[in-house]
Amino acid sequence: MTMQAAVNPSAGPSAFLFPGDEQFWFETVRMFGADEYGGGSFGEVMAVSTRITAGDYDSWYEAWNAMADRIAAEGDRQLAGNHRISARDSYLRACNYYRSSEFFLHANPRDPRVSRAYERSVACYRAAGALHDPEIKPVEIPYEGTTLPGYFHRAGEGVRPLLIMHSGFDGSAEELHWSGARAAVERGYHVLCFDGPGQYGPLHRHGLVFRHDWENVVTPVVDFALTLPGIDSSRIALRGESLGGYLAPRAAAFEHRIAAVIANDGLYDYGAHHVSRMPDAGREALLTELRAGPVPQVNRAMAAAMEASPVVRWAISHGMWCFGAATPSEYIGKTLDYTLAGGVAGQIRCPTLVCEAEDDLFFKGQPQQLYDHLTCPKTLMTFTNAEGAGAHCEVGAGRLANARMFDWLDETLGI
């Protein structure tokens, strides 16, 4: 069999940096975009990028880790001198730089560089959170005999609406700081960010992998949220990023205490994203095989695709880890359960915002499919290249995207 590489040839000006490597370019734009809420610095991102060789995962790690170590040490000196704001800002950037440094190393999750970068990223974020006013409080959310890590961003005194946020395939609760949490706080929302199974904290700490029935993750999070001070239980919204554009709607289909949901970007069928690259002939028989176990011809095809495409190379390596799969075909088989088909989308009752990026590198066309299958009050919000917001999850255009998403949420919840 043959499979097409998951590459969108029109997905942005990758020739600016890392020509021919869309994955490195996308992750660099992600780092540029973090600048808007303090998670990066344009000059630092440029300086790091000049020291990275396209496609070289070791050089990516070394450059970002070196910058993270330098900025974290600067934060330590600033804090020792009681320069609390300067230290807060340094720790926040160092958190993101450590997170980025280990991003491409997940083909071998036991690599000690992975665990060190994770631990340093979390430590730096907690140091930054303690220097915010009000303090950003780390929380541990009870979940099936263990806990899920997260953060409570308190907007101020009094009863306020709550935004629950989680990321998707590869983000972190710490990264949500600049991906939407602080934008929500600025608008008067309390925010509870968390990592679920398969995501940054639970994956690194306990090896917990993804599950498709995300309502069984969000329901205990809502239970926990209702124990926090100042929560308006009638105005709890849920926002999911990237793969979270499937996970959050899935949860909202069954957890009806959610008053509004934002899918950024919308994702109707994650498995179809992979299946669409399979040949039509014999597809149904192949899907049956994938559900049953490893399929050698798929593994061979994916190995070739990983050689040809930086996007596929990274996505399959990380996907095998976070889905708990031993082979590429086992990973693809597991993704087939991640669908809102079969009437699941129709069970969502609350108003739903589906975001769509014009040049989405990963899930182009999926937001429209989700929107079309919704029967609840719904809005499709498209972000374009002309606005500088056409990349997946509008990375690089956070201020613009958050303004539109939170204007919608304000109006929906009657803020």
b/e burial code for range 164-175 (CB count within 10 A of at least 16 → b): bbbbbbbbbbbb
Edge-to-edge strand order for the sheet containing 260-264? 137-143, 146-153, 190-194, 160-166, 231-241, 260-264, 352-357, 378-383
Among 41, 242, 309, 329, the one annotated catalytic: 242
Q: Quick count: other Cβ atoms within 10 Å of Cβ 311? A: 22
Global pTM value: 0.93
* Residue 292 tokens, joined: 């049953």
Rounded CA-CA distance 79/292 in Å is 55
Rounded CA-CA distance 287/86 in Å is 54
Active-site annotation holds for 41 = no
Rounded CA-CA distance 49/41 in Å is 12
List the chain domain ranges: 18-133, 136-269+338-415, 272-335
**Sign of the C-alpha dihedral computed for residues 317, 243, 208 and 130 taken in this order:** positive
Question: Which residues in the chain come in under a pLDDT of 50?
Answer: 1-14
pLDDT of res. 202: 98
CATH class of 18-133: mainly alpha
pLDDT of res. 280: 64
Rounded CA-CA distance 370/352 in Å is 10
What are the pLDDT digits (tens) for 339-374? 999 999 999 999 999 999 999 988 999 999 999 999
CATH architecture of the domain formed by 136-269+338-415:
3-Layer(aba) Sandwich (3.40)
* Residue 347 tokens, joined: 């069970």
pLDDT of res. 296: 87
pLDDT of res. 275: 77
pLDDT of res. 274: 78
Enter the DSSP assignment of 13: -
